[in-house]
Amino acid sequence: MSDEQVNLAAEWIAKCEKLVIFTGAGISTESGLPDYRGPDGVWTRREKGLPPPRSKVPWHLAKPNDAHLAIVGLQKIGKLDFLISQNVDGLHLKSGIKPEKLAELHGNSYLMRCVDCDRQMTHEEAGWDKTVWGNGYRTDPVLKGQPKCPHCGGRIISSVVNFGDPLPDKEISEAVRHSQNCDVFFVIGSSLVVTPAAYMPEYALKNGAKLILLNLGETPFDNKAHLRIWKKAGDFVPKVVDAVKKILK
């Protein structure tokens, strides 16, 4: 691994005023979960007529890996302004990221959302039993007697955003605002092809931010990135965070 890339990324992050990190499924592959557009990803296999890849661990048993924990390290030293994620695996919250610093644009498999008051809650808080009521997706039929929002009595649905569903207003607006106001935008493990999430680095670039892009596959932003890294997140991100801490000592 190039020490020059590690040191350059660390220098930019240490000196920046507002760092935004953007993560895709590629950050969670080292936790045993499949990605989508990698060589053996969900959509890659589907396009080849193959069944989806098997997760190496059950989703509910997946644990945050070194890359997730390194991002928490940036939060602890006050260098993380905001984290935007396309992932629904819940690993960022499990790792210790503060909810107010996180926008999960595609939802969270472990959270429900009220369509009326927009509050999020765990399945337990909602009284939602999947074995009885199913996933509770927006497009699922409303079943007689299913739990309602404990806060306002409105309909609760899975927070997961499926194809055709609207993105959550609060999360998308927060993601846009932070992207437009950052000076370093660090992409980790995303192919940057799913919109509107993929518009975020463009907002950052228009603001003059430096774009650091780490992904094992090609992306539409490869030629726009100020620093392009072809490494695994768990190998690169912890080294960068360690270097940031040394600079700030």
List active site positions: 106
Alpha carbons 211 and 20: distance in angstroms, whole number? 10
- For 114, the 3-state DSSP assignment is strand
Cβ atoms of 85 and 159 within 8 Å: the answer is no
Q: What does 52-78 look like in DSSP terms, one character per residue?
A: PPPPSS-GGG----HHHHHHHHHHHTT
Secondary element (H or E) of residue 186: strand 184-188
Cβ atoms of 142 and 148 within 8 Å: the answer is no
